[in-house]
């Protein structure tokens, strides 16, 4: 249900984004925190009107649309324009569930959230992404360029930053398959097929697994 994507952004891409963020205009992040934003969310984010925003957003969306792991796990139909967030000492984002619909009316259904880390864990203390799952709390603080992809219905938080500055990208996806259990089945079949190919399995086994995956996708996908 939760996927860690190592190296979603390359080192060069991370450096490019970091340099552009250095001169970008940041605004109060509580405005995107829903009805409890002022109470539970304290951070800043790049203004969509900032000259740097469009360039950075296009870079990130391009990476997400081309990544095989994102394609297999999320089956994205639409991806929302990202938020570039900054947390300094004392900043945090308390426990919350992201909105079910985002964007211009009538809105895009949010099935999956993704957090992309932009600086190394040693650059700040605190600031962990914490997901409340059926298996208990899962804590993530990943190297720059790594991402965590998770169902949007999870309650989650960003722990208070106690030193340094945490930079991250957050965005949301509407999947062609809205049911997370069905997405997991399709992903499992895709991973089995990939393993069969790598292990030079017989063609009939590969064809049958791929037939099952494609037929389930045909049954369940909304386009």
Place of tokens 């909105």: 99
Instruction: Look up the pTM and report it.
Output: 0.93
> Residue 88 forms beta bridges with which residues?
165
Per DSSP, which regions of the chain are E strands?
3-5, 26-28, 41-42, 44-46, 76-79, 83-88, 92-96, 101-102, 108-109, 112-117, 124-126, 129-133, 136-140, 147-151, 155-158, 161-175
Residue 35 confidence (pLDDT) above 80: no
Burial class (CB in 10 A: 0-12, 13-18, 19+), 135: exposed
CB-based contact 190:108 (threshold 8 Å): no
Enumerate the β-bridge partners of residue 157: 130
Cα–Cα distance measured from residue 34 to residue 38, given in angstroms and rounded to the nearest whole number: 8
Q: What is the mean pLDDT of residues 28-38?
A: 74
pLDDT band at 34 (very low <50, low <70, confident <90, very high): low
pLDDT, tens only, 194-217: 999 999 999 999 999 999 999 999
8 Å CB contact between 180 and 158: no
CB 40 within 8 A of CB 94: yes
Given pLDDT bands bounded at 50, 70 and 90, which one contains residue 38? confident
Q: What's the mean pLDDT in 164-180?
A: 97
- Look at residue 32 in the predicted model and tell me its pLDDT: 73
Pairing of strands 129-133, 124-126: unpaired
Predicted pLDDT of residue 30 = 85
Question: Span 21-44, mean pLDDT?
Answer: 84
- The pLDDT assigned to 220 comes to 97
Residue 39 pLDDT > 90: no
**70 burial class (0-12, 13-18, 19+ CB within 10 angstroms)?**
buried
The predicted model gives 138-149 an average pLDDT of 98
CA dist., res. 89 & res. 163, Å (int)? 5
Round the average pLDDT of the chain to a whole number and report it.
Answer: 94
Whether residue 127 has pLDDT greater than 80: yes
pLDDT digits (tens, 9 = 90+) for 54-87: 999 999 999 999 999 999 999 999 999 999 999 9
The proportion of the chain whose per-residue pLDDT surpasses 70, expressed as a percent, equals 98
SS3 content of the chain, % helix, strand, coil (to 5): 40, 35, 30
Least confidently predicted of 21-30, 86-95, 140-149: 21-30
- Model confidence at 33: pLDDT above 80: no
Q: What is the pLDDT of residue 147?
A: 98
Predicted confidence at residue 37, as pLDDT, reads 62
Chain-centre distance for alpha carbon 137: 18
Residue among 103, 116, 165 nearest 17 (CA): 116
């Amino acid at each position: 249900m939760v996927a860690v994507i190592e190296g979603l952004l390359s080192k060069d891409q991370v450096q490019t984004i970091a340099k552009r963020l250095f001169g970008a205009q940041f605004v109060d992040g509580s405005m995107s925190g829903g009805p409890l934003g002022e109470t539970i969310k304290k951070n800043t984010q790049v203004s969509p009107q900032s000259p740097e925003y469009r360039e950075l957003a296009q870079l990130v969306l391009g990476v997400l649309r081309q990544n095989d792991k994102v394609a297999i796990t999320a089956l994205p139909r639409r991806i929302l324009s990202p938020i570039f967030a900054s947390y300094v000492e004392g900043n945090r984002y308390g426990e919350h569930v992201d909105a079910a619909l985002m964007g211009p009316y009538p809105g895009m259904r949010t099935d999956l959230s993704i957090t992309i880390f932009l600086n190394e864990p040693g650059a700040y203390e605190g600031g962990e992404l914490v997901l409340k799952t059926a298996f208990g709390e899962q804590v993530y603080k990943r190297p720059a360029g790594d991402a965590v992809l998770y169902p949007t219905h999870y309650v989650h938080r960003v722990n208070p930053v106690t030193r340094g500055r945490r930079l991250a990208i957050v965005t949301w996806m509407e999947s062609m398959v809205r049911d997370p259990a069905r997405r997991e089945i399709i992903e499992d079949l895709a991973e089995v097929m990939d393993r069969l190919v790598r292990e030079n399995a017989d063609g009939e086994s590969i064809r049958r697994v791929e037939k099952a995956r494609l037929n389930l996708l045909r049954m369940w996908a909304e386009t």
